[in-house]
Structure 1
């Protein structure tokens, strides 16, 4: 029975938000074709520094919204002559404490991949 016998309820939260970055920042990019054709194992850099410019008047960031974007080309797409459409997954990560920019200086942080998880570490 499980799920069929019990009604399921999910909390819905809505947060007011303001975009404080000047533009989206690319954290990582993977070239799957390059990985598939590589003669040896390709490794991601263990840590990658990132600078995010802030819009004027932005004091800092409380959360980071991340998108995983990829293009999926399947047999039907190629058969019908259509272009592959981008698919994205949106995830919001709340930061443990507010990260402040100094005046109009950018936020600086490091992106790392550890055990398959994407980590964002802000400079203190």
Structure 2
């Protein structure tokens, strides 16, 4: 079983406990989709949408988690996959520019496998190099 996050294209989640923060950027006042996550099994069947648990709140904005439906052709050997999913979005505070940091777990409800996703967000500035 895989937790499949999608951010413009689908990428299979790996062990993230030791992962360096992902670096992303957005413009002031513009929300940023951090990821869309679904459970896709090796046989291309789908599972219940994973749970997203906030581990570190942003200091200069808010995180929004929404239930969505993911449709993609980008899962290994699977044809078009449509799955229940959860999306997490960062919304910077009004007039904020600078750097913010967040972290969240994505947990498969069936296996309880959790992957930590730390993210450094640059708002209105060039993203910092990790």
TM-score band by shorter chain is: 0.3 to 0.5
Structure with the largest fraction of helix: 1
Q: Normalization by structure 1: what TM-score? A: 0.32
Q: Normalization by structure 2: what TM-score? A: 0.31
